[in-house]
Structure 1
Amino acid sequence: MKKVHPLYLTVDSRGAYIHVKDNMFEIIIRSGVTEQKRLFAPSKITTLSIGQGAALSGAAAELALKYNIDIIFLDSFEHPVGRVWFPGLGSTTKIRKAQLLASVNLEGLRIAAQWLKAKTEGRLDFIVRLKKHRPEKRRLIDESVSILKDGIEKFGNFDPKLHDDPQGVLRGMEGSQGRIYFSLLGQLIPSDFKFEGRSMRPAKDHFNAFLNYSYGVLYGKIEKALIIAGIDPYLGFLHRDDYNMLSMVYDFVEPFRVYCEEAVFKLFSQKKAALKHADKILDGFQLNKEGKMLLLEELTKVFTENKQKYRNRSQAVDNIIRLEAHATAMRLLKLEFNPSDFEYIFTSDMTESI
């Protein structure tokens, strides 16, 4: 059993049992002849996450719903597979209403631009650190540094009102920055693994095979954090809302991609990643079991063991993701919208389909 945050309680110990005692949650964990008990006031909790090994009584579920506590059921990988919440208007409903409003006016794009700015800042910091140990590549790195700095300024000053197609402009800026960045990384890794840029479904080289799998791990972490924070993972601001597409996951993930990129780059630069770790498939490569184990070991260090500075405190990246998701939910709740913000919906081609 672990208390993750004063507002978020996760119970994942095998054999744990959650029931009600004196109008409080009592969690009982039995291990052999020993028994551990803890009480939690429902007024202190906003989310109760239940792992596969734990059990929840009907009375505990009723108490949670009475206090508008979201109940989330997790699979063996601690990914959310189901959710129960009170049917009345609570914080989750308000958050998703604000999220929907932001997605159909320009505020959502402003938020997306800030996430892209944060992503570019993280990548800039990464390649500047790479320069310290690669004096022979200094000129090459400096050229990319200059371009990324320019991108940071553009994302920071981005005003969607100034563009006829603000989404297209933002995607174009993101694409050009990404091409420069990955082109540089492709020239900095050991010569046996040099690559020309990003490739997906399938990866065209070993580096992208590692990177694609690491992104998949990260997407799961992002989706879980968004759901717990009350944010709809399918309702994005920049990425398309196609059927069954985790649009908000792909928007919100942007500042955190660099942790995967640095982890993968480290495996190659330290020559831990090898040809044997990816198998040739039709038109590309994919990680095999040995490659996945190597990568997951490194990602565990990155996300749970290594600490990063966040708001003047050292935090694990997993915690930072969760805290940022909660901060985004709070930001959405504070947004104020005017009817005029939505006039373009009823003056565009969308009118015919409404």
Structure 2
Amino acid sequence: MEAPLNPTISRTHLFFLIIKTQIGIGLLSLPSKIQESAKGDAWISVLVAGVVIQLLLLVYWQLLNKFPNQTLSEMTVRILGVYVGKALNLIYYVFFIVIAGYACTLYVKLVNTWMLALTPSWVLLLLIIGAGVYLAIENLRIISRFFILCSVLFALLLLISFLNFSNDMQFTNILPVGQAGSWQIFKGSENTFFSMLGFEVILYFSAHVQNNPKGLLRVISLANGFVTLFYTYFVFLCLIGFSPIALAQVNEPVLFIFKGLTYQLFDRLDLIFLTIWIIPMTVTIVSYLTLAGKSLTTNQISYRRMIGFSGGLIFLLASYLSALENFDIFSKWLEYGYLFMIVVIPFLLWIMSFLLKKNRKVKST
């Protein structure tokens, strides 16, 4: 008899699975991107994006309530039928592979720029993807425990960030509040939304939570609140730490803000920060590898084979993207695809679930 794909996990496990997937490389460049439109109100744009995500999470919660203890791949088959549902699951599989490949490319370019300029990209890709596959082949409970262990790094990063308040902070950069106007604030929240992606893991991981769906909304809301405040804090820190002109010219302001800090015991806090940050970036790959495996398989044996195959696909895709000098067009199309896959399709499935329920009532009568 084949082993089940995953044992049950607690709501605490789900909380850390969500936040560790969401918080990744997007945070490092986020302040400069939002500041282009929202100016000193960039921190408000982050809060607005958090509210938008919370509204989307309510749709997820309603869908999960209708199909308790089922993953999105099982819901699609139940709502759309076997053939259409499995075809959609295959599209989701490709989507998760593309996301993981794109994320790996960004990680490698960041490490090459800041730390290991002479190291070939394929070496870094092997290290990142190899570590991701090694963890992703395990069951969800083991993965979530590792994520909880890594969460200690968030506390360390926050402690390091407090050292910046010893510098001259310009709080006038965020005044007057609301200076950018409502439209520019909402425009800035669009960039924030794409930097906070990863909450879609709820559609797959929540099916394994004990006593599902009891307390599910509270857990996903707390996770969204934590990520929103975490991003808001670092955006706020960069706004008061850089002048508006300087912030617009810096690609990774979260790293640059630590570059000027020097102490007798240690130097280059930016490199220390990045070294720690590599772990949250890598566990994001683990999450998407897991999603890819769970979108097409239902038992542990075939799941492990799928993870190994998926790792190879991610390596090939990331190697191709790393060779490109500019992939802005690819990034833009990926954003459109992301909106369709995590917003439009779940919303349509939620609407169709009502029709499914009505059809069952008609048949029963």
TM-score (norm 2): 0.29
Structure with a larger share of its residues in helix = 2
Structure with a larger share of its residues in strand = 1
Q: Which has the larger radius of gyration?
A: 1
By relative contact order (CA 8 Å, sep 6+), the higher-ranking structure is: 2
TM-score (norm 1): 0.30
